[in-house]
Homo-oligomer: A and B are copies of this chain.
Protein backbone atom coordinates (compact mmCIF):
# COMPACT_ATOMS: atom_id res chain seq x y z
CA UNK A 1 0.00 0.00 0.00
CA UNK A 2 1.35 3.42 -0.87
CA UNK A 3 1.76 6.05 1.79
CA UNK A 4 -1.11 8.20 0.53
CA UNK A 5 -3.43 5.23 1.04
CA UNK A 6 -2.00 4.31 4.43
CA UNK A 7 -2.58 7.85 5.62
CA UNK A 8 -6.04 8.12 4.11
CA UNK A 9 -7.56 4.78 5.02
CA UNK A 10 -5.03 2.34 6.41
CA UNK A 11 -6.55 -0.14 8.83
CA UNK A 12 -5.36 0.38 12.40
CA UNK A 13 -3.46 -2.23 14.36
CA UNK A 14 -2.56 -4.44 11.45
CA UNK A 15 0.92 -4.96 10.08
CA UNK A 16 1.69 -2.88 7.02
CA UNK A 17 4.64 -2.37 4.72
CA UNK A 18 5.79 1.07 3.63
CA UNK A 19 8.52 1.82 1.12
CA UNK A 20 9.93 5.23 0.50
CA UNK A 21 12.67 7.76 0.97
CA UNK A 22 13.73 9.30 4.24
CA UNK A 23 12.91 12.97 4.47
CA UNK A 24 14.12 13.49 8.04
CA UNK A 25 15.19 11.47 11.04
CA UNK A 26 15.12 12.80 14.58
CA UNK A 27 14.73 11.34 18.04
CA UNK A 28 16.72 10.48 21.11
CA UNK A 29 18.70 7.54 22.41
CA UNK A 30 15.55 5.48 22.96
CA UNK A 31 13.55 6.12 19.86
CA UNK A 32 13.99 7.33 16.29
CA UNK A 33 11.28 9.15 14.33
CA UNK A 34 11.69 8.68 10.60
CA UNK A 35 9.61 10.71 8.14
CA UNK A 36 9.13 8.54 5.04
CA UNK A 37 7.80 9.74 1.68
CA UNK A 38 7.09 7.71 -1.47
CA UNK A 39 5.93 10.43 -3.81
CA UNK A 40 2.26 9.47 -3.61
CA UNK A 41 1.46 12.52 -1.46
CA UNK A 42 3.04 15.63 -0.03
CA UNK A 43 2.66 14.08 3.43
CA UNK A 44 5.18 11.79 5.06
CA UNK A 45 4.34 8.82 7.21
CA UNK A 46 6.08 8.72 10.57
CA UNK A 47 8.00 5.55 11.34
CA UNK A 48 8.74 5.04 15.03
CA UNK A 49 11.73 2.79 15.73
CA UNK A 50 12.76 1.75 19.24
CA UNK A 51 16.52 2.01 19.06
CA UNK A 52 16.97 -1.05 21.27
CA UNK A 53 15.20 -3.20 18.69
CA UNK A 54 17.47 -2.33 15.77
CA UNK A 55 21.10 -2.64 14.86
CA UNK A 56 23.04 0.51 15.60
CA UNK A 57 24.71 0.69 12.19
CA UNK A 58 21.38 0.27 10.46
CA UNK A 59 19.91 3.18 12.37
CA UNK A 60 22.99 5.26 11.66
CA UNK A 61 22.59 4.59 7.95
CA UNK A 62 19.04 5.89 7.93
CA UNK A 63 19.80 9.38 6.70
CA UNK A 64 17.96 11.89 4.57
CA UNK A 65 17.50 10.48 1.08
CA UNK A 66 18.04 6.84 1.97
CA UNK A 67 15.46 4.39 0.65
CA UNK A 68 13.76 2.05 3.12
CA UNK A 69 11.35 -0.83 3.36
CA UNK A 70 9.60 -0.77 6.72
CA UNK A 71 7.14 -3.21 8.21
CA UNK A 72 5.25 -2.65 11.40
CA UNK A 73 1.97 -1.99 13.08
CA UNK A 74 -0.10 0.91 11.78
CA UNK A 75 -1.47 2.75 14.80
CA UNK A 76 -3.18 6.04 15.60
CA UNK A 77 -0.51 8.67 16.02
CA UNK A 78 -0.32 10.63 19.24
CA UNK A 79 1.44 13.42 17.36
CA UNK A 80 -0.65 16.20 15.93
CA UNK A 81 -1.04 16.68 12.21
CA UNK A 82 -0.83 13.00 11.29
CA UNK A 83 -3.57 10.41 11.61
CA UNK A 84 -1.35 7.33 11.86
CA UNK A 85 2.22 6.18 12.31
CA UNK A 86 4.08 2.91 11.93
CA UNK A 87 5.64 1.13 14.91
CA UNK A 88 8.57 -0.38 13.08
CA UNK A 89 9.13 -4.11 13.40
CA UNK A 90 11.65 -4.53 10.57
CA UNK A 91 13.59 -1.99 8.54
CA UNK A 92 15.50 -2.82 5.38
CA UNK A 93 17.69 -0.25 3.68
CA UNK A 94 17.33 -0.47 -0.10
CA UNK A 95 19.78 2.32 -0.82
CA UNK A 96 21.99 4.62 1.21
CA UNK A 97 22.37 8.35 0.74
CA UNK A 98 25.72 9.55 1.94
CA UNK A 99 25.13 12.69 4.03
CA UNK A 100 28.39 14.19 2.80
CA UNK A 101 27.43 14.12 -0.84
CA UNK A 102 23.61 13.93 -1.10
CA UNK A 103 22.66 17.40 -2.34
CA UNK A 104 19.19 17.54 -0.80
CA UNK A 105 20.53 17.37 2.71
CA UNK A 106 19.17 20.56 4.14
CA UNK A 107 15.87 22.26 3.67
CA UNK A 108 15.46 25.62 2.06
CA UNK A 109 17.35 25.23 -1.19
CA UNK A 110 16.65 27.97 -3.68
CA UNK A 111 14.67 27.18 -6.79
CA UNK A 112 17.70 28.29 -8.80
CA UNK A 113 19.88 25.69 -7.12
CA UNK A 114 17.25 23.00 -7.56
CA UNK A 115 17.09 23.78 -11.28
CA UNK A 116 20.74 22.75 -11.50
CA UNK A 117 19.88 19.36 -10.03
CA UNK A 118 16.66 18.90 -11.97
CA UNK A 119 17.25 15.15 -11.88
CA UNK A 120 16.83 15.14 -8.07
CA UNK A 121 14.39 17.97 -7.49
CA UNK A 122 11.25 15.79 -7.85
CA UNK A 123 12.31 14.42 -4.45
CA UNK A 124 11.57 17.76 -2.79
CA UNK A 125 8.17 18.77 -1.43
CA UNK A 126 7.91 21.65 -3.85
CA UNK A 127 8.56 19.68 -7.01
CA UNK A 128 6.62 16.68 -5.81
CA UNK A 129 3.65 19.01 -5.48
CA UNK A 130 4.26 20.75 -8.80
CA UNK A 131 4.61 17.53 -10.77
CA UNK A 132 1.61 15.87 -9.16
CA UNK A 133 -0.44 18.93 -10.12
CA UNK A 134 1.05 18.86 -13.61
CA UNK A 135 -0.12 15.26 -13.91
CA UNK A 136 -3.59 16.12 -12.63
CA UNK A 137 -3.89 18.91 -15.20
CA UNK A 138 -2.79 16.63 -18.04
CA UNK A 139 -5.28 14.00 -17.00
CA UNK A 140 -8.05 16.56 -16.63
CA UNK A 141 -7.36 17.78 -20.17
CA UNK A 142 -7.77 14.29 -21.61
CA UNK A 143 -10.83 13.63 -19.49
CA UNK A 144 -12.50 16.90 -20.43
CA UNK A 145 -12.16 16.28 -24.13
CA UNK A 146 -12.90 12.58 -24.02
CA UNK A 147 -16.10 13.15 -22.06
CA UNK A 148 -17.22 15.63 -24.73
CA UNK A 149 -16.57 13.48 -27.78
CA UNK A 150 -13.28 15.05 -28.88
CA UNK A 151 -10.63 12.77 -30.33
CA UNK A 152 -6.96 12.97 -29.40
CA UNK A 153 -5.04 13.70 -32.55
CA UNK A 154 -1.28 13.45 -32.96
CA UNK A 155 0.00 16.05 -35.35
CA UNK A 156 3.51 15.24 -36.58
CA UNK A 157 6.48 16.65 -34.68
CA UNK A 158 8.84 16.52 -37.61
CA UNK A 159 7.46 18.62 -40.41
CA UNK A 160 8.47 19.99 -43.76
CA UNK A 161 6.02 22.86 -43.42
CA UNK A 162 6.29 26.07 -41.46
CA UNK A 163 2.78 25.88 -39.96
CA UNK A 164 1.83 29.42 -39.17
CA UNK A 165 5.23 31.02 -39.19
CA UNK A 166 4.77 31.17 -35.44
CA UNK A 167 8.44 31.28 -34.65
CA UNK A 168 12.00 30.26 -35.37
CA UNK A 169 12.40 26.55 -35.88
CA UNK A 170 14.85 23.79 -35.06
CA UNK A 171 16.15 21.85 -38.02
CA UNK A 172 15.99 18.04 -37.83
CA UNK A 173 18.64 16.25 -39.81
CA UNK A 174 20.76 13.16 -40.18
CA UNK A 175 23.34 14.98 -42.30
CA UNK A 176 26.78 15.07 -40.73
CA UNK A 177 27.83 18.54 -39.57
CA UNK A 178 29.06 20.43 -42.59
CA UNK A 179 27.09 18.44 -45.13
CA UNK A 180 24.58 20.49 -47.05
CA UNK A 181 22.93 18.22 -49.61
CA UNK A 182 19.33 17.84 -48.45
CA UNK A 183 18.76 15.15 -51.04
CA UNK A 184 20.95 13.01 -48.82
CA UNK A 185 19.08 13.96 -45.65
CA UNK A 186 16.77 11.44 -43.97
CA UNK A 187 13.60 12.85 -45.47
CA UNK A 188 15.24 14.00 -48.70
CA UNK A 189 14.45 17.62 -47.87
CA UNK A 190 14.88 20.13 -45.03
CA UNK A 191 12.66 19.33 -42.06
CA UNK A 192 11.95 21.11 -38.78
CA UNK A 193 10.38 20.56 -35.41
CA UNK A 194 6.79 21.76 -35.38
CA UNK A 195 5.81 25.09 -33.85
CA UNK A 196 2.12 24.14 -33.77
CA UNK A 197 -0.04 21.14 -34.59
CA UNK A 198 -2.95 23.33 -35.61
CA UNK A 199 -2.88 23.04 -39.37
CA UNK A 200 -2.86 19.25 -39.25
CA UNK A 201 -5.45 19.48 -36.50
CA UNK A 202 -7.74 21.39 -38.83
CA UNK A 203 -7.53 18.53 -41.33
CA UNK A 204 -8.73 16.19 -38.62
CA UNK A 205 -11.52 18.46 -37.40
CA UNK A 206 -12.87 18.59 -40.95
CA UNK A 207 -13.28 14.81 -40.81
CA UNK A 208 -13.73 13.75 -37.19
CA UNK A 209 -15.54 16.91 -36.11
CA UNK A 210 -13.83 17.68 -32.81
CA UNK A 211 -10.23 16.89 -32.06
CA UNK A 212 -7.44 18.05 -29.79
CA UNK A 213 -3.71 17.75 -29.87
CA UNK A 214 -1.62 17.66 -26.72
CA UNK A 215 2.07 17.29 -27.26
CA UNK A 216 5.49 18.90 -27.40
CA UNK A 217 6.02 22.00 -29.48
CA UNK A 218 9.22 23.85 -30.23
CA UNK A 219 10.50 27.40 -30.70
CA UNK A 220 14.13 28.11 -31.44
CA UNK A 221 13.95 31.61 -30.05
CA UNK A 222 16.77 33.06 -28.06
CA UNK A 223 14.47 34.10 -25.20
CA UNK A 224 15.90 33.73 -21.74
CA UNK A 225 12.79 34.72 -19.79
CA UNK A 226 10.72 33.15 -17.00
CA UNK A 227 7.92 32.68 -19.55
CA UNK A 228 9.63 30.96 -22.47
CA UNK A 229 10.89 27.48 -23.22
CA UNK A 230 12.40 26.07 -26.40
CA UNK A 231 10.42 22.85 -25.82
CA UNK A 232 6.98 23.09 -24.25
CA UNK A 233 3.68 21.28 -24.32
CA UNK A 234 0.65 22.65 -26.05
CA UNK A 235 -3.04 21.69 -26.14
CA UNK A 236 -4.81 22.56 -29.37
CA UNK A 237 -8.49 21.72 -29.78
CA UNK A 238 -10.03 22.26 -33.20
CA UNK A 239 -13.74 22.06 -33.86
CA UNK A 240 -15.80 21.88 -37.02
CA UNK A 241 -18.98 23.99 -36.92
CA UNK A 242 -17.71 26.21 -34.11
CA UNK A 243 -17.90 29.94 -34.65
CA UNK A 244 -15.92 32.33 -32.52
CA UNK A 245 -18.65 32.56 -29.88
CA UNK A 246 -18.64 28.78 -29.46
CA UNK A 247 -14.86 28.90 -29.33
CA UNK A 248 -14.93 31.45 -26.50
CA UNK A 249 -17.49 29.43 -24.60
CA UNK A 250 -15.38 26.30 -24.92
CA UNK A 251 -12.18 28.04 -23.86
CA UNK A 252 -13.81 29.53 -20.76
CA UNK A 253 -15.54 26.31 -19.79
CA UNK A 254 -12.37 24.30 -20.40
CA UNK A 255 -10.09 26.41 -18.29
CA UNK A 256 -12.62 26.66 -15.46
CA UNK A 257 -12.96 22.89 -15.53
CA UNK A 258 -9.20 22.49 -15.23
CA UNK A 259 -8.87 24.92 -12.35
CA UNK A 260 -11.80 23.28 -10.58
CA UNK A 261 -10.23 19.90 -11.12
CA UNK A 262 -7.06 21.10 -9.42
CA UNK A 263 -9.04 22.51 -6.49
CA UNK A 264 -10.87 19.22 -6.09
CA UNK A 265 -8.02 16.77 -6.68
CA UNK A 266 -4.86 18.56 -5.54
CA UNK A 267 -5.94 20.19 -2.29
CA UNK A 268 -2.93 19.03 -0.24
CA UNK A 269 -0.38 20.05 -2.83
CA UNK A 270 -2.07 23.41 -3.37
CA UNK A 271 -2.16 24.03 0.38
CA UNK A 272 1.58 23.38 0.54
CA UNK A 273 2.37 25.72 -2.35
CA UNK A 274 0.09 28.36 -0.93
CA UNK A 275 1.86 28.19 2.41
CA UNK A 276 5.35 28.24 0.92
CA UNK A 277 5.10 30.49 -2.12
CA UNK A 278 1.84 32.23 -2.80
CA UNK A 279 -0.59 33.14 -0.07
CA UNK A 280 -3.32 34.06 -2.56
CA UNK A 281 -3.08 30.92 -4.64
CA UNK A 282 -6.36 29.17 -3.94
CA UNK A 283 -8.20 32.45 -3.68
CA UNK A 284 -7.02 33.30 -7.19
CA UNK A 285 -8.03 29.86 -8.47
CA UNK A 286 -11.47 30.09 -6.91
CA UNK A 287 -11.94 33.54 -8.33
CA UNK A 288 -11.33 32.28 -11.85
CA UNK A 289 -13.86 29.50 -11.51
CA UNK A 290 -16.50 31.71 -9.89
CA UNK A 291 -16.61 34.65 -12.30
CA UNK A 292 -17.52 35.13 -15.91
CA UNK A 293 -14.62 36.16 -18.08
CA UNK A 294 -14.91 39.66 -19.53
CA UNK A 295 -15.35 39.61 -23.28
CA UNK A 296 -14.34 42.61 -25.31
CA UNK A 297 -12.89 43.50 -28.66
CA UNK A 298 -9.34 44.60 -29.23
CA UNK A 299 -10.72 47.98 -30.31
CA UNK A 300 -12.56 48.38 -26.99
CA UNK A 301 -9.45 47.24 -25.12
CA UNK A 302 -7.25 49.79 -26.82
CA UNK A 303 -9.76 52.50 -25.98
CA UNK A 304 -9.63 51.57 -22.29
CA UNK A 305 -5.83 51.58 -22.34
CA UNK A 306 -5.68 54.94 -24.10
CA UNK A 307 -8.07 56.42 -21.57
CA UNK A 308 -6.04 55.02 -18.70
CA UNK A 309 -2.95 56.64 -20.16
CA UNK A 310 -4.59 59.95 -21.05
CA UNK A 311 -6.94 60.50 -18.12
CA UNK A 312 -5.62 58.35 -15.27
CA UNK A 313 -1.93 58.94 -15.78
CA UNK A 314 -1.14 55.25 -16.13
CA UNK A 315 2.37 54.87 -17.56
CA UNK A 316 3.11 52.15 -20.09
CA UNK A 317 6.58 51.32 -21.34
CA UNK A 318 5.32 50.43 -24.83
CA UNK A 319 3.04 52.68 -26.88
CA UNK A 320 -0.69 52.01 -27.10
CA UNK A 321 -2.51 52.71 -30.35
CA UNK A 322 -4.96 50.90 -32.59
CA UNK A 323 -2.83 48.44 -34.55
CA UNK A 324 -0.22 47.87 -31.87
CA UNK A 325 0.50 44.32 -30.74
CA UNK A 326 -0.41 44.66 -27.08
CA UNK A 327 2.40 43.97 -24.63
CA UNK A 328 2.16 41.98 -21.42
CA UNK A 329 1.90 45.23 -19.42
CA UNK A 330 -1.20 46.22 -21.39
CA UNK A 331 -2.84 42.84 -21.02
CA UNK A 332 -2.11 42.77 -17.31
CA UNK A 333 -3.46 46.27 -16.83
CA UNK A 334 -6.78 45.22 -18.32
CA UNK A 335 -6.94 41.98 -16.35
CA UNK A 336 -5.47 43.01 -13.02
CA UNK A 337 -6.30 46.71 -12.74
CA UNK A 338 -9.26 47.54 -14.91
CA UNK A 339 -11.53 44.49 -14.96
CA UNK A 340 -9.94 42.46 -12.18
CA UNK A 341 -10.91 39.22 -13.84
CA UNK A 342 -9.89 37.13 -16.86
CA UNK A 343 -10.49 38.72 -20.22
CA UNK A 344 -11.25 37.24 -23.63
CA UNK A 345 -10.18 39.73 -26.26
CA UNK A 346 -11.35 39.34 -29.85
CA UNK A 347 -11.25 40.88 -33.29
CA UNK A 348 -7.64 41.93 -33.63
CA UNK A 349 -6.13 43.95 -36.47
CA UNK A 350 -5.35 41.48 -39.22
CA UNK A 351 -1.77 42.74 -39.52
CA UNK A 352 -0.78 41.36 -36.12
CA UNK A 353 -2.43 37.95 -36.49
CA UNK A 354 -1.85 34.79 -38.50
CA UNK A 355 -3.03 34.24 -42.05
CA UNK A 356 -5.61 31.58 -41.22
CA UNK A 357 -7.89 33.71 -39.03
CA UNK A 358 -11.37 34.47 -40.32
CA UNK A 359 -11.55 37.92 -41.84
CA UNK A 360 -14.23 40.24 -40.54
CA UNK A 361 -16.37 42.23 -42.91
CA UNK A 362 -14.74 45.49 -41.84
CA UNK A 363 -11.66 44.45 -43.85
CA UNK A 364 -9.41 45.44 -40.96
CA UNK A 365 -9.89 42.86 -38.23
CA UNK A 366 -9.90 39.11 -37.89
CA UNK A 367 -11.71 36.77 -35.51
CA UNK A 368 -8.79 36.09 -33.26
CA UNK A 369 -9.37 35.42 -29.59
CA UNK A 370 -6.89 35.58 -26.72
CA UNK A 371 -7.64 34.63 -23.14
CA UNK A 372 -5.72 36.87 -20.76
CA UNK A 373 -5.07 35.80 -17.19
CA UNK A 374 -3.80 37.52 -14.07
CA UNK A 375 -0.06 37.09 -13.53
CA UNK A 376 0.27 34.97 -16.69
CA UNK A 377 -0.98 37.24 -19.44
CA UNK A 378 -1.96 35.30 -22.56
CA UNK A 379 -2.81 31.75 -21.58
CA UNK A 380 -4.88 30.85 -24.64
CA UNK A 381 -4.69 32.09 -28.22
CA UNK A 382 -7.17 31.04 -30.85
CA UNK A 383 -9.54 32.08 -33.57
CA UNK A 384 -12.31 31.19 -35.87
CA UNK A 385 -10.55 30.02 -39.03
CA UNK A 386 -11.05 31.47 -42.47
CA UNK A 387 -13.26 28.89 -44.18
CA UNK A 388 -13.48 30.61 -47.54
CA UNK A 389 -10.93 29.33 -50.05
CA UNK A 390 -10.57 32.55 -52.03
CA UNK A 391 -10.26 34.80 -49.00
CA UNK A 392 -7.73 32.48 -47.45
CA UNK A 393 -5.57 32.31 -50.55
CA UNK A 394 -5.74 36.08 -50.97
CA UNK A 395 -4.54 36.59 -47.40
CA UNK A 396 -1.76 34.02 -47.82
CA UNK A 397 -0.61 35.82 -50.94
CA UNK A 398 -0.67 39.17 -49.12
CA UNK A 399 1.38 37.77 -46.28
CA UNK A 400 3.80 35.82 -48.45
CA UNK A 401 2.70 32.39 -47.19
CA UNK A 402 3.50 29.91 -49.95
CA UNK A 403 0.30 28.37 -51.30
CA UNK A 404 2.01 25.84 -53.58
CA UNK A 405 3.42 23.82 -50.68
CA UNK A 406 0.21 24.20 -48.66
CA UNK A 407 -2.23 22.58 -51.06
CA UNK A 408 -2.96 19.88 -48.50
CA UNK A 409 -4.10 22.58 -46.08
CA UNK A 410 -6.09 24.43 -48.69
CA UNK A 411 -7.89 21.20 -49.59
CA UNK A 412 -9.92 21.59 -46.38
CA UNK A 413 -11.40 24.74 -47.94
CA UNK A 414 -11.61 23.27 -51.41
CA UNK A 415 -13.61 20.19 -50.41
CA UNK A 416 -16.47 20.40 -47.95
CA UNK A 417 -15.34 23.51 -46.13
CA UNK A 418 -17.19 24.53 -42.97
CA UNK A 419 -17.00 27.15 -40.24
CA UNK A 420 -14.49 25.95 -37.70
CA UNK A 421 -12.46 27.26 -34.79
CA UNK A 422 -9.76 26.29 -32.39
CA UNK A 423 -7.28 27.52 -29.86
CA UNK A 424 -3.98 26.73 -28.25
CA UNK A 425 -3.33 26.49 -24.52
CA UNK A 426 0.28 26.62 -23.39
CA UNK A 427 0.31 23.75 -20.94
CA UNK A 428 3.18 25.08 -18.83
CA UNK A 429 1.47 28.46 -18.55
CA UNK A 430 -1.57 26.67 -17.18
CA UNK A 431 0.60 24.79 -14.68
CA UNK A 432 2.28 28.06 -13.72
CA UNK A 433 -1.10 29.60 -13.02
CA UNK A 434 -2.43 26.64 -11.06
CA UNK A 435 0.71 26.10 -8.95
CA UNK A 436 1.50 29.77 -8.40
CA UNK A 437 5.09 29.18 -9.44
CA UNK A 438 6.66 32.12 -11.25
CA UNK A 439 9.32 30.60 -13.51
CA UNK A 440 8.25 28.31 -16.33
CA UNK A 441 11.42 26.27 -15.84
CA UNK A 442 9.99 25.07 -12.54
CA UNK A 443 6.87 23.45 -13.95
CA UNK A 444 8.42 21.17 -16.60
CA UNK A 445 10.68 18.28 -15.63
CA UNK A 446 13.69 19.21 -17.77
CA UNK A 447 13.53 22.73 -19.19
CA UNK A 448 15.10 23.39 -22.57
CA UNK A 449 16.36 26.94 -22.96
CA UNK A 450 19.19 28.61 -24.88
CA UNK A 451 22.49 26.90 -24.04
CA UNK A 452 20.72 24.49 -21.71
CA UNK A 453 19.87 20.87 -22.57
CA UNK A 454 21.02 19.06 -19.45
CA UNK A 455 19.80 15.54 -18.60
A residues with a Cβ closer than 8 A to B are 2, 4, 19-22, 38-40, 65-67, 69, 94-98, 101-102, 119-120, 122-123, 127-128, 131-132, 134-135, 138-139, 142-143, 146, 149, 151-161, 168, 170-175, 177-180, 182, 186-191, 193, 200, 203-204, 206-210, 215-216, 218, 220, 222, 230-231, 233, 240-241, 387, 408-409, 411-419, 444-446, 448, 450-455
- How far apart are A139's CB and chain B's nearest CB, in angstroms? 5
Q: Are A95 and B415 in contact, CB atoms less than 8 angstroms apart?
A: yes
* Alpha-carbon gap, A275 to B5, bound state (A): 46
Task: Please indicate the chain B residues that have their CB under 8 angstroms from the CB of A454 in the complex.
Answer: 160, 408
Q: Are B168 and A171 in contact, CB atoms less than 8 angstroms apart?
A: no
Instruction: List 17 A-B residue pairs with CB atoms under 8 Å apart, sorted by A's residue number.
Output: A2-B149, A19-B240, A19-B241, A39-B209, A94-B417, A94-B418, A127-B207, A139-B146, A155-B445, A157-B231, A158-B170, A158-B448, A177-B179, A187-B451, A187-B453, A189-B453, A203-B455
Task: Please indicate the chain B residues that have their CB under 8 angstroms from the CB of A101 in the complex.
Answer: 414-415
Of A146, A230, A445, which is in contact with the most chain B CB atoms at under 10 Å from its CB?
A445
Known: A208-B131, A413-B95, A415-B95. A155 touches B408 (CB 8 A): no
Q: Quick one: which of B65, B138, B200, B453 contacts A159, CB cutoff 8 A?
A: B453
Q: Are B200 and A94 in contact, CB atoms less than 8 angstroms apart?
A: no
* Alpha-carbon gap, A38 to B215, bound state (A): 25
Q: Are A415 and B102 in contact, CB atoms less than 8 angstroms apart?
A: yes
Q: Quick one: which of B173, B387, B409 contacts A170, CB cutoff 8 A?
A: B173
Task: Please indicate the chain B residues that have their CB under 8 angstroms from the CB of A187 in the complex.
Answer: 448, 450-453
- How far apart are A384's CB and chain B's nearest CB, in angstroms? 13
Task: Please indicate the chain B residues that have their CB under 8 angstroms from the CB of A193 in the complex.
Answer: 172
Task: Please indicate the chain B residues that have their CB under 8 angstroms from the CB of A143 in the complex.
Answer: 142-143
Task: Please indicate the chain B residues that have their CB under 8 angstroms from the CB of A182 in the complex.
Answer: 177
Q: Quick one: which of B154, B178, B208 contacts A122, CB cutoff 8 A?
A: B208
Q: Are B132 and A208 in contact, CB atoms less than 8 angstroms apart?
A: yes
Q: Quick one: which of B127, B172, B180, B416 contacts A97, CB cutoff 8 A?
A: B416
* Alpha-carbon gap, A210 to B4, bound state (A): 13
Q: Are B151 and A131 in contact, CB atoms less than 8 angstroms apart?
A: yes
Q: Are B66 and A416 in contact, CB atoms less than 8 angstroms apart?
A: yes
Q: Quick one: which of B135, B174, B204, B209 contacts A168, CB cutoff 8 A?
A: B174
Task: Please indicate the chain B residues that have their CB under 8 angstroms from the CB of A231 in the complex.
Answer: 156-158
Q: Which residue of B lies closest to A199 (CB)?
A: B455
Task: Please indicate the chain B residues that have their CB under 8 angstroms from the CB of A139 in the complex.
Answer: 142, 146, 152
* Alpha-carbon gap, A177 to B209, bound state (A): 40
Q: Are B154 and A445 in contact, CB atoms less than 8 angstroms apart?
A: yes
* Alpha-carbon gap, A182 to B230, bound state (A): 17
* Alpha-carbon gap, A172 to B194, bound state (A): 12
Known: A95-B416, A178-B180, A453-B189. A209 touches B38 (CB 8 A): yes
Task: Please indicate the chain B residues that have their CB under 8 angstroms from the CB of A69 in the complex.
Answer: 241
Known: A142-B139, A172-B170, A387-B94. A67 touches B207 (CB 8 A): no
